[in-house]
Every structure is written in C-alpha cells, then in structure tokens.
Amino acid sequence: MLQVQAPTDLRPGKNGQYRTLMAILGGALALLILITIPLTFPLLNYSLLLLKASLESPTSAASSAFRPQIFASGNLSIFSALPCDLAVGEWIPNSNPNAAPPYTNDTCWAIHEHLNCLKYGRPDHGFLQWRWRPDGCELPAFNPAQFLELMRHKAFAFVGDNIARNHVQSLICLLSKVEYPIDVSPSRDEHFKKWKYMSYNFTMAFLWTTHLVKSQESSTKGVFDLYLDEFDEAWTSQIPGFDYVMISSGQWFLHPLYFHENGRVIGCHDCFLDNVTELGIYHGYRKAFRTAFKAILTSESFKGITYLRTFAPAHFENGLWNQGGNCLRTEPLKSKDSALEGMNLELYMTQMEEFRRAEREGRKKGIKFRLLDTTQPMWLRPDGHPSQYGHWPQGNDSSLLNDCVHWCLPGPIDIWSDFLLHMVKLEGIRSAQERALLAHQTELNQR
C-alpha cells in the first residue's frame, strides 16, 4: 500500500537567514566534532589517506581497507583534518550526458509501480543525468560488488515508511548488476520483507513503521494515535539479529495525531478539539525519535551500527498536495538559490538534535550512531518525484494525486546508496584503525 501525504506547502524559497543559521550551526557542529572525534578516532587524518587510496582503486578497497599491512607505511601522527561533509555540495551534470542510468524498468524488477516513472511515460529523462558532488571531495558512483563484499555475512535492516522502501528498491536495483536476492520473508506481509544475497550470505530486511513508535489509526479515519513512549515492537523486537539498522521517518507526522504518553492523551497535532492541547508536529517527531533511539540504546542484544537517514522533503508547488500541487521541474536547484526552510528545516533540526543526543548516549555505551545526511541533496531535487508518472493517465480521476513525495526509480534517491557505501567503507577504515592503534600500542608496550 503506497501512501501519498504531504499536506503542507513546500515551495522552495530564497532565504538568507537559513544560510546564516546553518553557517553558525555548521561551525558549532564542526567544533563539536573536532572536540569529540579525536577521542574516538585518533587517526582521522590517517583515515583520509586510506580513504583516498580506497577511493582511487574501488575494486580493491573493500579488502585493502582491512588489510593490516597498509598501516606499515602510514602517518600515525595526526589530529588535523576532517572527512568532507557529503551533505554539502551541488548537483552537477554527468560528464557523459548520454550515460545510461545504472538500471532501468527493463533491467530491474524491484521497482514499485508507483515509482516506475520511465514505464509510465515521463517524457524528460534529463533528471537522470546529474551526479552529486560534495564540496571538497568526489563521491564515487555506487560499486555493487564492493558493497556486497563489505556486507558479506552481515544483516542490514531498513526501518521506516514508504520512503525507506523506496530506498530499499533503489538499492536492490543498484545491486542487481551483481546479484538479485532471494525472498526469504517470514510471511506474505509486504510490510516486513527479508531477502538474502546467497553468494554473499548477506541478509537485507525492510521493517515497516509509520511513526517509529507504537501507533494505530484512531476511530477517526486519517487520525493516528501515537504512543510516544512505547516502542513499535514490530521492528524493535527484530533488530537484535542485525549488524546495521537504518531508521528514518517523515511524512506520516503531518497527519492529524493524538499524542499518548504515560498511558493518556497529553495533546495532539491538528485535532481541533477543545479538550486536547495542540502540541504541533515537532513534539511528536522529537519524542518518536527519542523513543526509537532508546529502543536501540537499551536493546540487550543489538550491538550493530545505527544510521539515521535524515528527512526527505516533498516538493509540491502551486498548491497543496490535495489541491492540485505538483512538481513539474526538470532540473535540480542550485544550493545558492534554495535553502531548506520552514517545516522542512524544523523537522530536520529536530531529528538532528535527537540524533546527537542518542549519539552522545551511545558513545558512553559503545553503541555507534551514524548520520546519512541526505536532506539537503534531496531538497535540491524537486525534479526527482513521479508527479503524474506513477501510473497511467486516468482522465480526470481526482483521487490520483501528483506524487511529489516519493522518488522515481532510477532517480536521485540512488545516491543514498552512494552515501551508505561511502560510510560503510569509512566505518571499516575506522575499525581497522582502531585495531591498528591497539596493535601499535601493544607493540610499543612490549619494547
């Protein structure tokens, strides 16, 4: 079941305040990272050398990142540089404007109908001819063999709503050049899927949740009861078997919501009742993330890495989602012309604050939280949504809304896997470093 909701005006705007704010926040963040990272990753500069090496020879990186002898010639002194921030950059045209997309509706079976923009006749294919270039570094194109090699004997769960499923389908298609998984789902419920890449013993799962916490549609249609302090056990009970969990959440919080805490209704979002306090969406969004992270932090047996994939903005222009709003652009925006603002910025910042909180908590307990910070790149891609090309034209059927929430496949959402691969590689380097440092110290102690 595919849901399309984004009942808010999301027109890109020009806003200098945001830049200033982000500059300040960015500065503060960088400072925070500079202060905290050396404690955990004392050889960061060294990791850059390794990373550079691994990026230059993509096929060998997976193994080389873990090969201990590469440390022999390394520069083990350093605390200076930071890896470049993947989230800040620009969409630039492919160097080869006729390059074929990594997969198409003909080569990949995993594309959900509603995301199959090529099949449903999207006339412009220019939206497939861009790549994301972070400021100050190159993000290599996705290398499926490398990803699968890094995932050998591992299990990865994607937790979230239809946008998370959108990402999973993109990843399956990107990996399909090497291998398709077999379906090993525990049931026929499309909300909880499990696949296995047999040659790699890699298990991948999609665990559906609308609001990350326990929730259900209330007796009033379209209004949800959210139990902000209760785990959504449909996913939290399953994570112990996984090495990686990626969580995300977004558009479902824009519905009218009743917030429950401590077993009673403490407020709502858009319920318009005299006896219930309006708390706005951010209250629910913040608490939902806090509770989801708590589930991870307090799990007895999950010891894997948690990624937060940040909020993916919708792009309705010239009207609300249910009032004829649409997304008809055919090119990305430039970052200088459009800044994240209003509700999108607020949702982004809210989850970021909860992420930092969980990260701090996790550091004390040795539980790793990592950020897949894709909001800004996606904000610049109003051209990446299906709009009316998620189905055949159906005359004037007003129930067929323009979809400016989900993402065409293939399409810009494919870069989420580029980000992920990059981060998993970095992770390998980080742990290899930690091991090397340990070995180095042991050696010094023995002298």
- Show the tokens assigned to 314: 């919708």
Judged by CB, which is closer to ligand NAG: 79, or 136?
A: 79
Interface residue with ligand NAG among 265, 328, 349, 437 (CB under 6 A) is 265
Nearer to ligand NAG, 154 or 385 (CB): 154
What six digits make up the tokens of 191?
């909300």
Q: Which two tokens stand for residue 225?
A: 């009861």
Least distance (Å) between residue 45 CB and ligand NAG: 6
Could you give the C-alpha distances from 181 to 28, 78, 157, 245, in angstroms and in order?
Answer: 43, 42, 14, 18
Tokens representing residue 57 in the block: 């020879």
- Cα(368)–Cα(359) distance, rounded to whole angstroms? 7
Q: What minimum distance in Å lies between the beta carbon of 104 and ligand NAG? A: 7
Residues 125-164 that bind ligand NAG (CB under 6 A): 153-155
273: contact with ligand NAG by CB under 6 A: yes
Q: With contacts defined by CB under 6 A, how many residues of the chain interact with ligand NAG? A: 18
Q: How far is the CB of 218 from ligand NAG (least distance, A)?
A: 11
Query: Which residue, 116 or 374, has its beta carbon nearer to ligand NAG?
Result: 116
Binding of residue 106 to ligand NAG (CB under 6 A): yes
* 397 contacts ligand NAG (rule: CB under 6 A): no
Q: Which is nearer to ligand NAG, 106 or 300 (CB)?
A: 106
Interacting positions 364-383 with ligand NAG (CB under 6 A): none
DSSP H or E segment with residue 29: helix 16-40
Answer for which of 75, 216, 323, 441 binds ligand NAG (CB under 6 A) is 75
310-331 exposure pattern, b = at least 16 Cβ within 10 A, e = fewer: bbbbbbbbeeebeeebbbebeb
Please give the Cα distance from 69 to 85 (Å, whole number).
Answer: 28
Nearest to residue 12, comparing CAs of 380, 428, 412, 398? 380
Q: Is there binding between residue 262 and ligand NAG (CB under 6 A)?
A: no
User: Considering the rule CB under 6 A, would residue 396 count as an interface residue with ligand NAG?
Assistant: yes
Minimum CB distance to ligand NAG, residue 242 (Å) = 9
* Contact residues for 125 (Cβ-Cβ < 8 A; gap 6+): 118
Among 97, 123, 263, 395, binds ligand NAG (CB under 6 A): 395
Nearer residue to ligand NAG within complex by CB, 196 or 363: 196
Q: How many CB atoms within 10 Å of residue 59?
A: 11
Interacting residue with ligand NAG among 17, 199, 201, 330 (CB under 6 A): 201
Three-class secondary structure of residue 85 per DSSP: coil
Q: Which is nearer to ligand NAG, 75 or 431 (CB)?
A: 75
Residue 349 engages ligand NAG in binding (rule: CB under 6 A): no
* HSE toward the beta carbon, residue 205, CA cutoff 13 A: 27
Q: Which of 341, 413, 328, 436 is nearest to 142 (CA)?
A: 413
Q: How far apart are CA 180 and CA 183, in angstroms?
A: 9
Tell whether residue 112 is a contact of ligand NAG (CB under 6 A).
no
Q: Which is nearer to ligand NAG, 20 or 330 (CB)?
A: 330
CA distances for 256 relative to 73, 113, 160, 162, 225, angstroms: 59, 28, 19, 19, 9
The reply to whether 78 sits near ligand NAG by the rule CB under 6 A is yes
DSSP state of 115: G
Beta carbon of residue 100, minimum distance to ligand NAG (angstroms, whole number): 13
Footprint of ligand NAG (CB under 6 A): 75, 77-78, 105-106, 118-119, 153-155, 201, 203, 265, 273, 275-276, 395-396
